[in-house]
Amino acid sequence: MSTANRFNFHTTNVRQTQSLAKKIAKLLLPGDVLLLQGPLGAGKTTFTQGLAKGMNIKSEVTSPTFILLAQHEPSSNNLALFHADLYRLTDPTEVMELHLEEQASDGVLIVEWPDRAPEMLPKDHLLISIALQKIDHNARTFTFVSAGERAREIVDGLQSQL
Ligand code: ADP
Ligand code: MG
Protein backbone atom coordinates (compact mmCIF):
# COMPACT_ATOMS: atom_id res chain seq x y z
CA MET A 1 0.00 0.00 0.00
CA SER A 2 1.24 3.44 -0.83
CA THR A 3 1.61 5.98 1.90
CA ALA A 4 2.69 9.58 1.28
CA ASN A 5 4.65 10.40 -1.85
CA ARG A 6 6.82 12.94 -0.08
CA PHE A 7 8.97 12.89 3.04
CA ASN A 8 12.03 14.43 4.63
CA PHE A 9 15.12 12.86 6.14
CA HIS A 10 17.99 14.59 7.96
CA THR A 11 21.65 13.65 7.99
CA THR A 12 24.42 15.26 10.01
CA ASN A 13 27.49 13.77 8.33
CA VAL A 14 28.76 12.12 5.15
CA ARG A 15 28.48 8.63 6.62
CA GLN A 16 24.75 9.07 7.28
CA THR A 17 24.17 10.44 3.79
CA GLN A 18 25.95 7.47 2.26
CA SER A 19 24.12 5.02 4.45
CA LEU A 20 20.82 6.53 3.29
CA ALA A 21 21.97 6.17 -0.32
CA LYS A 22 22.98 2.54 0.28
CA LYS A 23 19.51 1.74 1.59
CA ILE A 24 18.02 3.20 -1.59
CA ALA A 25 20.50 1.25 -3.71
CA LYS A 26 19.07 -2.01 -2.43
CA LEU A 27 15.58 -1.04 -3.61
CA LEU A 28 16.46 -0.18 -7.20
CA LEU A 29 15.44 -2.00 -10.37
CA PRO A 30 16.48 -1.59 -14.02
CA GLY A 31 15.08 1.60 -15.51
CA ASP A 32 14.82 3.49 -12.22
CA VAL A 33 15.63 7.20 -12.39
CA LEU A 34 16.80 9.42 -9.51
CA LEU A 35 17.05 13.19 -9.91
CA LEU A 36 19.33 14.92 -7.39
CA GLN A 37 18.64 18.58 -6.84
CA GLY A 38 20.48 21.02 -4.60
CA PRO A 39 23.15 23.75 -4.62
CA LEU A 40 26.89 23.22 -5.10
CA GLY A 41 28.28 21.32 -2.15
CA ALA A 42 24.88 19.99 -1.07
CA GLY A 43 26.08 16.40 -1.27
CA LYS A 44 24.74 15.13 -4.61
CA THR A 45 28.02 13.47 -5.60
CA THR A 46 28.57 12.24 -2.04
CA PHE A 47 25.12 10.64 -2.15
CA THR A 48 25.87 9.10 -5.55
CA GLN A 49 29.10 7.61 -4.16
CA GLY A 50 27.08 5.90 -1.43
CA LEU A 51 24.56 4.70 -3.97
CA ALA A 52 27.34 3.20 -6.11
CA LYS A 53 28.77 1.39 -3.07
CA GLY A 54 25.34 0.01 -2.29
CA MET A 55 25.07 -1.19 -5.88
CA ASN A 56 28.44 -3.00 -5.60
CA ILE A 57 30.07 -0.73 -8.13
CA LYS A 58 33.85 -0.68 -7.85
CA SER A 59 34.74 2.23 -10.15
CA GLU A 60 35.09 5.65 -8.60
CA VAL A 61 32.24 8.15 -8.77
CA THR A 62 33.60 11.67 -9.22
CA SER A 63 32.36 15.14 -10.10
CA PRO A 64 32.81 15.17 -13.86
CA THR A 65 34.39 18.30 -15.28
CA PHE A 66 33.43 17.88 -18.89
CA ILE A 67 31.77 14.50 -19.15
CA LEU A 68 28.02 14.83 -18.85
CA LEU A 69 27.38 11.12 -18.48
CA ALA A 70 29.57 8.55 -16.73
CA GLN A 71 28.78 4.87 -16.97
CA HIS A 72 29.75 2.57 -14.10
CA GLU A 73 29.70 -1.13 -14.80
CA PRO A 74 28.45 -3.49 -12.10
CA SER A 75 30.73 -6.16 -10.67
CA SER A 76 28.42 -9.15 -11.20
CA ASN A 77 24.70 -9.74 -11.19
CA ASN A 78 24.18 -6.11 -10.33
CA LEU A 79 22.91 -3.06 -12.16
CA ALA A 80 25.03 -0.55 -14.03
CA LEU A 81 24.91 3.04 -12.81
CA PHE A 82 24.61 5.93 -15.25
CA HIS A 83 25.66 9.15 -13.54
CA ALA A 84 24.78 12.35 -15.36
CA ASP A 85 25.90 15.76 -14.15
CA LEU A 86 24.24 18.54 -16.10
CA TYR A 87 25.96 21.42 -14.28
CA ARG A 88 27.92 22.42 -17.37
CA LEU A 89 25.05 22.05 -19.77
CA THR A 90 24.68 25.17 -21.88
CA ASP A 91 21.71 24.17 -24.01
CA PRO A 92 18.97 21.88 -22.64
CA THR A 93 18.64 20.15 -26.02
CA GLU A 94 22.17 18.76 -25.54
CA VAL A 95 20.57 16.30 -23.13
CA MET A 96 18.64 14.75 -25.98
CA GLU A 97 21.94 13.75 -27.59
CA LEU A 98 22.84 11.76 -24.48
CA HIS A 99 19.80 9.47 -24.96
CA LEU A 100 19.69 9.12 -21.21
CA GLU A 101 16.55 7.05 -20.85
CA GLU A 102 17.50 4.65 -23.63
CA GLN A 103 21.08 4.23 -22.42
CA ALA A 104 20.07 3.64 -18.83
CA SER A 105 17.14 1.32 -19.49
CA ASP A 106 19.11 -1.73 -18.25
CA GLY A 107 20.53 0.08 -15.25
CA VAL A 108 19.92 2.96 -12.89
CA LEU A 109 20.12 6.59 -13.97
CA ILE A 110 21.02 9.31 -11.48
CA VAL A 111 21.09 12.96 -12.58
CA GLU A 112 22.75 15.87 -10.78
CA TRP A 113 21.43 19.34 -11.73
CA PRO A 114 18.20 18.06 -13.35
CA ASP A 115 16.91 21.66 -13.21
CA ARG A 116 19.26 22.45 -16.12
CA ALA A 117 16.93 20.55 -18.45
CA PRO A 118 13.72 19.62 -16.61
CA GLU A 119 11.68 19.02 -19.76
CA MET A 120 14.19 16.58 -21.19
CA LEU A 121 14.28 14.12 -18.29
CA PRO A 122 12.13 11.02 -17.70
CA LYS A 123 8.68 11.86 -16.36
CA ASP A 124 8.74 8.91 -13.96
CA HIS A 125 11.48 9.55 -11.42
CA LEU A 126 12.30 9.93 -7.76
CA LEU A 127 13.23 13.54 -7.07
CA ILE A 128 15.66 13.95 -4.18
CA SER A 129 16.24 17.55 -3.10
CA ILE A 130 19.11 18.26 -0.73
CA ALA A 131 19.05 21.41 1.38
CA LEU A 132 21.86 22.82 3.48
CA GLN A 133 21.34 24.40 6.86
CA LYS A 134 22.75 27.68 8.08
CA ILE A 135 23.63 26.65 11.61
CA ASP A 136 25.18 23.19 11.24
CA HIS A 137 27.49 23.04 8.20
CA ASN A 138 27.30 19.27 8.08
CA ALA A 139 23.51 18.99 8.31
CA ARG A 140 21.50 18.16 5.21
CA THR A 141 17.78 17.74 4.69
CA PHE A 142 16.76 15.27 2.01
CA THR A 143 13.27 15.65 0.57
CA PHE A 144 11.94 12.77 -1.49
CA VAL A 145 9.15 13.38 -3.99
CA SER A 146 8.00 10.52 -6.18
CA ALA A 147 6.63 10.81 -9.69
CA GLY A 148 5.21 7.55 -10.97
CA GLU A 149 4.54 4.13 -9.49
CA ARG A 150 8.14 2.90 -9.28
CA ALA A 151 9.37 6.00 -7.47
CA ARG A 152 6.53 5.59 -5.01
CA GLU A 153 7.52 1.99 -4.37
CA ILE A 154 11.08 3.11 -3.67
CA VAL A 155 9.87 5.77 -1.22
CA ASP A 156 7.60 3.25 0.50
CA GLY A 157 10.43 0.73 0.71
CA LEU A 158 12.77 3.32 2.14
CA GLN A 159 10.31 4.66 4.68
CA SER A 160 9.63 1.19 6.00
CA GLN A 161 13.35 0.87 6.82
CA LEU A 162 14.01 4.24 8.42
P1 ADP B 1 27.49 18.38 -4.80
O2 ADP B 1 27.72 17.19 -5.69
O3 ADP B 1 26.06 18.52 -4.39
O4 ADP B 1 28.04 19.65 -5.36
P5 ADP B 1 29.46 17.13 -3.09
O6 ADP B 1 28.90 15.80 -2.74
O7 ADP B 1 30.52 17.17 -4.15
O8 ADP B 1 28.27 18.13 -3.43
O9 ADP B 1 30.08 17.81 -1.80
C10 ADP B 1 29.42 17.80 -0.56
C11 ADP B 1 30.39 18.31 0.48
O12 ADP B 1 29.71 18.49 1.72
C13 ADP B 1 31.53 17.34 0.72
O14 ADP B 1 32.70 18.08 0.94
C15 ADP B 1 31.11 16.63 2.00
O16 ADP B 1 32.21 16.17 2.75
C17 ADP B 1 30.35 17.72 2.73
N18 ADP B 1 29.33 17.25 3.70
C19 ADP B 1 29.26 17.65 4.98
N20 ADP B 1 28.19 17.11 5.60
C21 ADP B 1 27.57 16.34 4.68
C22 ADP B 1 26.39 15.52 4.73
N23 ADP B 1 25.62 15.42 5.84
N24 ADP B 1 26.04 14.87 3.61
C25 ADP B 1 26.78 15.01 2.48
N26 ADP B 1 27.89 15.76 2.37
C27 ADP B 1 28.29 16.43 3.46
MG1 MG C 1 28.34 17.03 -7.73
| Contact predicate 93/113, CB 8 Å | no
Which of 18, 19, 46 is the pocket-test mutation for ligand 1 (most atoms within 8 Å of CB)?
Answer: 46
Instruction: Specify which of 64-68, 91-95, 102-106, 127-131 reaches the highest per-range mean pLDDT.
Output: 127-131
Helix residue ranges per DSSP H, the chain: 14-25, 44-54, 94-98, 100-103, 149-159
Ligand 1 site, residue 43, Cβ cutoff 6 A: yes
pLDDT tens by residue, 40-93:
999 999 999 999 999 999 999 998 777 799 999 988 778 999 999 999 998 988
Does the predicted model carry a pTM greater than 0.85?
Answer: yes
Q: What angle do CA 127, 129, 133 make, to 5 degrees?
A: 170
Q: How far apart are CA 138 and CA 14, in angstroms?
A: 8
Q: How far apart are CA 63 and CA 48, in angstroms?
A: 10
| Contact predicate 101/129, CB 8 Å | no
Classified by CATH at the fold level, domain 6-159 comes out as Rossmann fold (3.40.50)
